[in-house]
Chain A
């Protein structure tokens, strides 16, 4: 079962036929499991990882540490929701340590991100403080490495 999702996680375009062979389950069974998973939210979405800088698109990214005041009954969830609804927010996490929320924000340029922070995020009532770290270089994301040198085949073409 989990095997199917591991394959899909690596390759969202794997067909039920291919998966069925790899996990040794009937195609119909695989299709059923995938459909069910799509319905119940086990599979959230199929996406593609694009290396945007190759297309000349250079988005600006920032990791923002946010300290907030938790609220009675809802803890951090209500304030987190208010923050992650902003389309600029790419990812949001509640973390342990010296701050509470870690959010990853995307913008077209520095201006866009700074106005998000100063005009939208910082003024929120429960937000005590923010620290913004601009991303300088991306090495690895979601298990995929960027800026890979061209793959060199180090194996001999035929070995015993």
Chain B
């Protein structure tokens, strides 16, 4: 006999977790769908290096496969890699971590961020983040059961979050401040003075700082402040870093977290139940990157810097004013003069001139009036894209 009753699954409307249902879809998604149907597009919307991973690193990865390194590694990552990471952080920033207890190798910084948030958040805990910020910050906080508290930033402060603005939003529920400088999407870099002020708040209110320093190596004529290197901040900072941007290794999915051992223990617990270990091939490639990758990193940084200067100058010339971004590979020009909002601008620019940029609103409400332009693409493409944008701005202006 055929069962005519509807299956129980159809009757339930709570199949998907409410937390997930309530998450807004990524603002980038819509564009992605539109873009995939078009041809001849110059995309300034790609948030990853246009360089291929340097050959010596790729070769190390290939060699690891040839040699049969295809098994799990220790949960926390290969000891040699953690040792290299500890030396690297010590040498470069003067902050020392115990390779065995204070470093965890993760599957990209994205995992590190998720682990850090899940490890510290109790239901209802508030985590302060700048607006605009990387798309995953608010979502990851919500998924971890926390409440994202957005602190507006603006052009006047070059999109660096101010300590006084943070302080105004600190409540009894505040658990941590999550910052990411150099910043995606703005290219902003935090100065020592600004970082010190935030460190002061963390101490005053007994807060943690999660510092996402994925873009640390991509700074131009500015100093990168490694947050845990500030006085007394190592104990209360969870440092998240990776190889994706510095060594053009986005697809390898390899990053790491460095923090006081009580945090690393907690993060490692989640990591061992969810991810087990980062890809072995990527870990071996990362060792090679740390041991012999410096000159390649510097070459890429120099090249980005040339493109950066070119893009920023041209944006200002064509009437899309842009503050000088000193880090990452993004420029964040204002499009307010065109009278359009960010989404409208991005959509029309794409349809009429076939140039893809990302509306600032994809990164938070304070991104309204701005678009993100990535200069990790060839100089000739940047030139052509800006020619088209110039034409577009003149037409609509």
Chain A stretch 108-160: residues in CB contact (< 8 A) with chain B: 155-160
Residue B119 interfacial (CB < 8 Å): no
Q: What mask results when residues 188 to 231 of chain B are scored 1 for a CB within 8 Å of chain A, else 0?
A: 00000000000000000000000000000000000000000000
Count: A-B pairs, CB below 8 Å: 52
Q: At the interface, yes or no: B306 with Cβ under 8 Å from chain A?
A: yes
> Nearest CB to that of B317 among chain A residues?
A21
Cβ-defined partner of A155 (8 Å) among B48, B302, B314: B48
Q: Which A residues are in CB contact (< 8 Å) with B184?
A: 160
A80 smallest CB distance to B (angstroms): 32
B136 within 8 A of A: yes
Question: Do the beta carbons of A157 and B43 come within 8 Å of each other?
Answer: yes
Residue B150 interfacial (CB < 8 Å): no
* B46 in the interface (beta carbon within 8 A): yes
Query: For A157, what are the chain B residues with a Cβ–Cβ distance below 8 Å?
Result: 32, 35-36, 41, 43, 45-46, 356
Instruction: Give A3 to B362 CA distance when docked, in angstroms.
Output: 36
Cα distance A59–B45 in the bound complex, in angstroms: 44
Assembly CA distance A157 to B36 (angstroms): 7
B392 within 8 A of A: no
Residues of B within 8 A of A159 (CB): 28, 45-48
The answer to whether A158 and B313 touch across the interface, beta carbons within 8 angstroms, is: no
**Which residues of chain B (289-327) have a CB below 8 Å from chain A?**
302, 305-307, 309-310, 313-314
**Once the chains are docked, how many angstroms separate the CA of A53 from the CA of B356?**
37
Q: Collect the chain A residues with CB atoms within 8 Å of residue B50's CB.
A: 155
A24 in the interface (beta carbon within 8 A): yes
Q: B82 to chain A: closest CB distance in Å?
A: 28
Contact in complex: A24, B46 (CB < 8 Å) = no
Question: Which residues of B sit under 8 angstroms from A24, Cβ to Cβ?
Answer: 309
Q: Would you call A23 an interface residue if the criterion is a C-beta within 8 Å of the partner chain's C-beta atoms?
A: yes
Residues of chain A within 8 A (CB-CB) of B46 are 155-159
Interface residues of B in 142-200 (CB under 8 A from A): 184
Q: Which of A1-46 contact B (CB under 8 A)?
A: 3, 6-7, 18, 21-24
B26 at the binding interface (Cβ < 8 Å): yes
Which residues of A lie under 8 Å from residue B270 when comparing CB positions? none
Shortest C-beta distance, A160 to chain B (Å), equals 5
* B356–A158 CB distance below 8 A: yes
Cβ of B93 within 8 Å of any chain A Cβ, yes or no, is: no
**What residues of B have a CB within 8 angstroms of the CB of A160 in the complex?**
26, 28, 47, 134-136, 184, 362
- Identify the closest chain B residue to A158 (Cβ): B45
Please tell me if the beta carbons of A158 and B358 are within 8 angstroms of each other in the complex: yes
Measured between beta carbons, the chain B residues less than 8 angstroms from A7 are 306
- Contact indicator A21/B43 (Cβ below 8 Å): no
Which one of A155, A157, A160 has the greatest number of beta carbons of chain B within 10 Å?
Answer: A160
B31 at the interface (CB under 8 A from A): yes
Shortest Cβ distance from residue B74 to the other chain A in the assembled complex, whole angstroms: 30
CB distance from A107 to the nearest CB of B (A): 33
Interchain CA distance A23-B310 in the complex, whole Å: 9
Would you give 22 A-B contacts (Cβ < 8 Å), ordered by A? A3-B302, A21-B309, A21-B310, A21-B313, A22-B305, A22-B306, A155-B46, A155-B50, A157-B32, A157-B41, A157-B43, A157-B46, A158-B31, A158-B32, A158-B43, A158-B45, A158-B46, A158-B358, A159-B28, A160-B26, A160-B28, A160-B47
Question: Can you name 6 extra interface pairs (CB under 8 A) apart from A21-B314, A160-B47, A160-B134?
Answer: A21-B310, A22-B309, A22-B310, A23-B306, A155-B48, A158-B45
Q: Which B residues form the contact surface with A (CB < 8 A)?
A: 26, 28, 31-32, 35-36, 41, 43, 45-48, 50, 134-136, 184, 302, 305-307, 309-310, 313-314, 356, 358, 362
